[in-house]
Chains A and B, each alone.
Chain A
Amino acid sequence: MIRKYSTIFSFSLKNQMVYVPAFMFRNVFFILVLFVFSNLWRVVYGARDTIAGLTLTQALWYLAFTETVELGKVRIFDEIQTEVKEGTLAYTLNRPYSYLLFMYAKGLGSSVPQMLSLALIGSLFSFVFAGPLPYFNPAAAAVVLMGGVGCTLAWMLLIGVLSFWFEEVTPFYWLLQKLIFIIGGMFIPIDFFPPWLESLARYSPFAFSAYWPAIVSVDYSSMRFLTAAAGQGFYILLLLSISALLYRRGIRQLSVQGG
């Protein structure tokens, strides 16, 4: 009995080893970004202790957390696009579950292990480059980081559904990525923004994929945590509802054309 499961375990572990190189290189890239920004922040901070209430250490850890979400997520829209294009989606229609929720759950499930290891590496190198965080609330961080990837995946679900109407939806993904980069405050905390941009960015849906999970992780307050969690919940529900609505339309169109 035990031998059977240990075989299954070692086999699947061996199977996962195939992805080790790709995974390691993604980590190297992550470390490189942290290295570059630790140098950049050092220069930008100069003699200042804090910028908009954050220390250099916090600014670097902030990046480690936004990147954990960004690099940890799985591109679920790719799979949806393929299934819509090749018409294999039709086979999933008569199964006893919601296709969209299935994809969403699958995306979350595959993202979590990646995020765990990224968080580990991010913490290690942020510590090496900039020292330890003064205060960290792991439970709150876990919740909002999950919420952050939940937001991003909800976007990707929506983008995937768009492939009912568009030949190629990858450009939408690029657009989303850029919006999260800038408006969402992926590299620079929104608190650093010029006022006109800050007011635009702070409660935008993109901020809940990057800024909010990271700021709660590096500079915890219960108010921030509640805002982050509520905002994430709201946008996830909103995006899922829109996706479901569009999906229903898309399916109808598909069945009219006969797949």
Chain B
Amino acid sequence: MAHAIEVNGLTKEFSSKVKSQGFTASVKGLLAPRYRTIRAVQDISFCVEEGDILAFIGPNGAGKSTTIKLITGILFPTSGSISVLGMNPHTQRKHLSYHIGTVFGQKSQLWYHLPPIDSLTLLGSIYDLSKKQTKNRIEFLAGIFELETFLDQPVRKLSLGQRIRCEIAGSLIHSPKILFLDEPSIGLDVVVKQRIRDLILKINKEEKTTIFLTSHDAGDIEKICKRALVINHGALVWEGTIKDMKYSLLNRRIIDVKTDQRLCIDIPGVKTVKSKEYAAKLEVELSAVSVEEVIQEIMKRVGIKDITISNVPMEEIISMIYQGGFA
């Protein structure tokens, strides 16, 4: 498989005006502003395979959006190289735009007061599709995304879920090879989220579209992505498959146990998260001790009525990454 996206040593710096404290200082700032450099993205390198679904994870301000904007050609990199479908997104931005689609959570492509069909038609002509091609494509997308019932209602009357479906359909009008989704599920309820995930999977399957997804939502990442990149403070902190992330990299298991008497356990590598009279929740550090040993220890002390062993939930993994407890 060829690389859809290849990024090498990517760095982006912003300079921002420093606002000084105090009255005289702000007058001085008006006359001779001081600038400070902020490194939003530093020395990032990674590849995305064609047809892959990649999750791009990181806390707010980690540099996710900046990276997407660098890859799509909106921002000029300070240094480093980017190749998308073999093209340089800055010198060949226009050419590249025929092959990529983007959904930016807050920035809508749809005309607010008009029905989506009008916006989709306009997008068709922006991407140089003929009238007939546009019509066929809209029919096809409307079928997959189930837009038929509200395609001719003004966008302002649509629900958020309907709107985001139209938004994604709009970004697929020109059958792009890569689809960038920046926080697509923000503000949606559970049912709608699930629906959007299904659609993304469907598009990936049917059109072999490479998906590049940023999200805060653990469910998004766990349910649809195969690989993940984790970014924090502008730097890449982890890269691998979602499976790896959950099973091997995170050397922890959760043991929920119900017992016939109160459990007191004190071995290195085991932390009692919760403990009630006849139930306890333990977190096991596998590098220090195996699950087997822990269970044996428990059985030595008390009688077990019920036991479940599970992985740390995705939400917790992500919040741990954000807090920097992951390297």
Contact = CB atoms under 8 A, between A and B. Distances in A.
A and B touch in their complex, CB below 8 angstroms: yes
Interface of A: 10, 13-14, 17
A17 to B, nearest CB: 7
Contacts of B23: 10, 13-14
Nearest to A20: B30
A13 B24 CA distance: 11
A1 to B, nearest CB: 20
Contacts of A17: 26
Contacts, number: 5
A13 B23 CA distance: 8
Q: Is chain B's binding surface mostly helix, strand, loop or mixed?
A: helix
A6 B26 CA distance: 17
Nearest to B23: A10
Interface of B: 23, 26
Contacts of B26: 14, 17
Nearest to A9: B23
Nearest to A10: B23
Nearest to B21: A14
Nearest to A21: B30
A35 to B, nearest CB: 26
Q: Is chain A's binding surface mostly helix, strand, loop or mixed?
A: helix
A3 to B, nearest CB: 14
A219 B146 CA distance: 75
A10 B26 CA distance: 11
B327 to A, nearest CB: 43
Please list the 5 inter-chain residue pairs (A to B) with the smallest Cβ-Cβ separation, ordered nearest first. A10-B23, A14-B23, A14-B26, A17-B26, A13-B23
B28 to A, nearest CB: 12
5 contacts: A10-B23, A13-B23, A14-B23, A14-B26, A17-B26
Nearest to B24: A10
A13 to B, nearest CB: 7
Nearest to A13: B23
Nearest to A14: B23
Nearest to A7: B23
B22 to A, nearest CB: 8
Nearest to B25: A14
A17 B23 CA distance: 10
A13 B26 CA distance: 11
Contacts of A13: 23
B281 to A, nearest CB: 50
A143 B26 CA distance: 37
Contacts of A10: 23
A13 B27 CA distance: 11
A14 B25 CA distance: 11
A47 B146 CA distance: 79
A37 to B, nearest CB: 32
A198 B319 CA distance: 77
A168 to B, nearest CB: 16
